[in-house]
Amino acid sequence: MSSKASNYFKFCPVCGGKLKVNQAHPTCIKCGFIFYQNSKPTSSAFLINAQGELMLVKRRVAPFRGYWDVPGGFLEEGEDPIVGLKRELYEELGVRLKNIALHGLYPDWYVDQYKLYTINIIYTAQIASGTLKPQDDISEYQWFTKKTIPWSRLAFSWIRPCLKDFFKN
């Protein structure tokens, strides 16, 4: 498996010609198409309960199966981040959101078939309606305080600085 997309793709998606990959952006030697590979956006939320605790979810799937994550996921092409956040939280936990506020943006990477660089958009929010039930790609959820966060079992490296920023406030 190649470490990043520019090493993974060998042929042009427009004409099928060979991509020249030894430059900043793979370029088709036949038609000149430049195959830009940009960071993929995600949208996630720290759900906050009435006691001020925040929710983390345990991943049911790779990568990092069994590790704690923030509920959310990849945005669809052209999807507004808040629309994507609402879709993801409904798919993963069966809940609707309220009091959504931007917390920050955190870069990282994600390995699937190749290394994807990500821009992780994180919000704070509260549950407006629905019954919490793990669905989709999570196995369980749990509410945490700063003292109970499972720091050594966090799924992705961006989550640690994000949590530290959250608890500064």
Q: What is the pLDDT of residues 49-97, one digit of tens each?
A: 999 999 999 999 999 999 999 999 999 999 999 999 999 999 999 999 9
Q: Are residues 64 and 136 in the same domain?
A: yes
At residue 6, the pLDDT reads 66
Q: What percent of the chain has pLDDT over 90?
A: 82
Do the Cβ atoms of 124 and 46 come closer than 8 Å? yes
At residue 25, the pLDDT reads 87
Spatial distance between the Cα atoms of 82 and 113, rounded to a whole number of angstroms: 27
Mean pLDDT of 105-127: 91
As a 3-state breakdown, the chain gives helix, strand, coil percent values, each rounded to 5, of: 20, 40, 40
Q: Are residues 73 and 148 in the same domain?
A: yes
Q: Are residues 132 and 61 in the same domain?
A: yes
Distances (CA, A) of 43 to 86, 102, 105, 118, 138: 9, 10, 9, 10, 16
Its pTM stands at: 0.88
At residue 2, the pLDDT reads 43
- Domain membership of residue 79 as a residue range: 40-168
User: 3-class DSSP state for residue 8?
Assistant: helix
Mean pLDDT of 23-33: 90
Q: Are residues 31 and 45 in the same domain?
A: no
At 115, is the pLDDT very low, low, confident or very high (cuts 50, 70, 90)?
confident
Q: Are residues 54 and 80 in the same domain?
A: yes
In this structure, what DSSP letter does residue 71 have? Answer: S
Q: Are residues 160 and 91 in the same domain?
A: yes
The total number of structural domains that make up the chain: 2
Q: Are residues 3 and 57 in the same domain?
A: no
Do the Cβ atoms of 123 and 89 come closer than 8 Å? no
